Amino acid sequence: MIKEVVMRQKKEMETLLARPYVERSRTEYAEKFAGGELIKVVTGPRRAGKSIFSLHFLRKSAPAYANFDDERLIKLRDYDELLKELHACYGSKKRLLFDEIQNLPGWELFINRLQRQGYNITLTGSNARLLSGELATSLTGRHVPIEILPFSFREILAAEKIGEPGKNLSPETKGRVLGLLERYLINGGFPEVVVKKLEPKGYLDTLMDSLILKDIVKRYSVRLSSQIYDLHGYLLNNFASECSYRRLAGRLGFKSVTTLEKYIGYLEEAYLIHVLQRYSNKAAERAGTSKKIYLVDNGYIEAAGVQFSPDRGRLMENLIFGELLKAGRQPNRDLFYYKTRNGREVDFITRKGRAVDVLIQAAYDLDAPGTKEREVKALIEAGAELRCGNLSVITWDHEEVLKVNGGKIHFTPLWKWLVSEAEKGPGPYF
């Protein structure tokens, strides 16, 4: 039986490698470690492209492959049986690629043993706690994390065979770029949604249900499964909004805030949501304040059909949050939101070391009454309190440099920020 599974998965791998491939921004980084002794750990949401990314950055070494999403493999008790069949199929290879490793019981000890025996190992996993939990404990200092999220806008442009737009776009090119951005804003960046033009409804809603059932309810033996669905539904409707755990627990009928926090943690682990803390210099204060909930991909909103008229302002804020993650920012380490002493909110602040280095507001429609004034006042107040003069407003298609109080606020169109700044790290707006 194991032999049949290994042979079938080898054919599936060859089929995947033969398909057209969109180069991912993390490829160059991953290739640096391809031949080294460190275990390569590729994490990210299901269907974000982890497997095909791993196969391509390892293509020169052609690793032996096993996918533990197959129930016949996870029922295996003698792991040497699998190793024997891999060698029978691939030859005496010392390079291994194991997909969805979190499904294999006791995988940590197995992987540790293989590394001691000189195997070059790459793992993929769809659990966000894989590195901070079981893997970090057992493989301390002997692994390198590589996170693969849904496509960034630059990757979408590559998929559409459009080069990075320059400063002076023709009306035709700019119109096409804005059209792709509009689709990205609504449908998100999951590879099959982008490349195959699948509609989120019917694809991502099925994925969400599968994640909750398979990666949460079954994995953690959740008894009151209706509560996790109710919680997820509430967060889908209230993404990019402040959230008090205590009030939310009461509203949804949770017996305790502790249980609510645990369930929110499950949704984070399954790569459905991210939780962002309000910034404070004191870690204890950050933990105690209200949080903001962001979705891993904008397509989840369209897929769930929870909003008849999508709030483009919040969709844009969620998209910017996601791009900051793809650029390497880490929530609650160097990425936060902020409220001034007067209660004015700044959507995102980023930090270098202990110093705040940029403040970012998301403003889809600056023509709405009072919007521009509100965003500017919040940035000026927050900049003074945090001693940061790097102030930015990301807009849909408005550009200017506003001089205020001896400083400047940069208003930058979203498309321009996405293609020129978001994935390059520090620059004019960082």
pLDDT digits (tens, 9 = 90+) for 296-340: 999 999 998 766 567 899 999 999 999 999 999 999 999 999 999
Rounded distance between C-alpha atoms, residue 143 and residue 146, angstroms: 10
| Closest alpha carbon to 341 in 385, 372, 276, 282 | 385
State the residue range of the domain holding 73: 2-147
Please check the confidence at residue 128 and state whether its pLDDT lies above 50.
yes
Which structure tokens are listed for 254? 């949770």
If one counts the domains in the chain, the total is 1
User: Looking at the domain assignment, is residue 404 inside a domain?
Assistant: no
Dump pLDDT digits (tens) for 232-253.
Answer: 999 999 999 999 999 999 999 9
Mean pLDDT throughout 188-205? 95
Indicate the pLDDT class of residue 428, thresholds 50, 70 and 90: very low
16: amino acid identity, one letter: L
d(CA 152, CA 146) in angstroms, rounded, equals 15
User: Is 247 part of any domain?
Assistant: no
Cβ atoms of 119 and 95 within 8 Å: the answer is: yes
pLDDT at 426 over 50: no
Weakest-pLDDT range from 155-164, 406-415, 419-428: 419-428
Query: Hey, how many other C-beta atoms are within 10 angstroms of the C-beta on 405?
Result: 10
Query: Does a structural domain hold residue 129?
Result: yes
Task: Give me the pLDDT at residue 141, please.
Answer: 63
Q: Which two tokens stand for residue 68?
A: 């533990």
Residue-wise pLDDT tens digits, 77-87: 899 999 999 99
Segment 134-153 mean pLDDT: 81
71 token code pair: 């129930």
Retrieve residue 425's tokens.
């790290």
- The rounded mean pLDDT for the chain is 90
More confident residue, 72 or 97: 97
Mean pLDDT of 414-425: 73
In-domain check, residue 79: yes
Given a cut of 70, is residue 132 above it in pLDDT? no
Q: What is the spatial distance between Cα 300 and Cα 204, in angstroms, rounded to a whole number?
A: 6
Q: Specify the pLDDT at position 429.
A: 34
Q: Is 127 a member of any domain? A: yes
Is residue 97 one of the residues assigned to a domain?
A: yes
Query: Lowest-pLDDT range, 87-101, 147-161, 206-220, 412-426?
Result: 412-426
Res. 357: pLDDT tops 70: yes
pTM for the predicted model, two decimal places: 0.92
Domain-located, residue 90: yes
At residue 5, does pLDDT exceed 60? Answer: yes
Give the model's pLDDT for residue 423: 47
Q: What is the CATH number of the domain that holds 73?
A: 3.40.50.300
Both structure tokens of 132: 């901070």
| Residue 22 within any structural domain of the chain | yes
The rounded distance, in Å, linking the Cα atoms of 153 and 195 is: 13
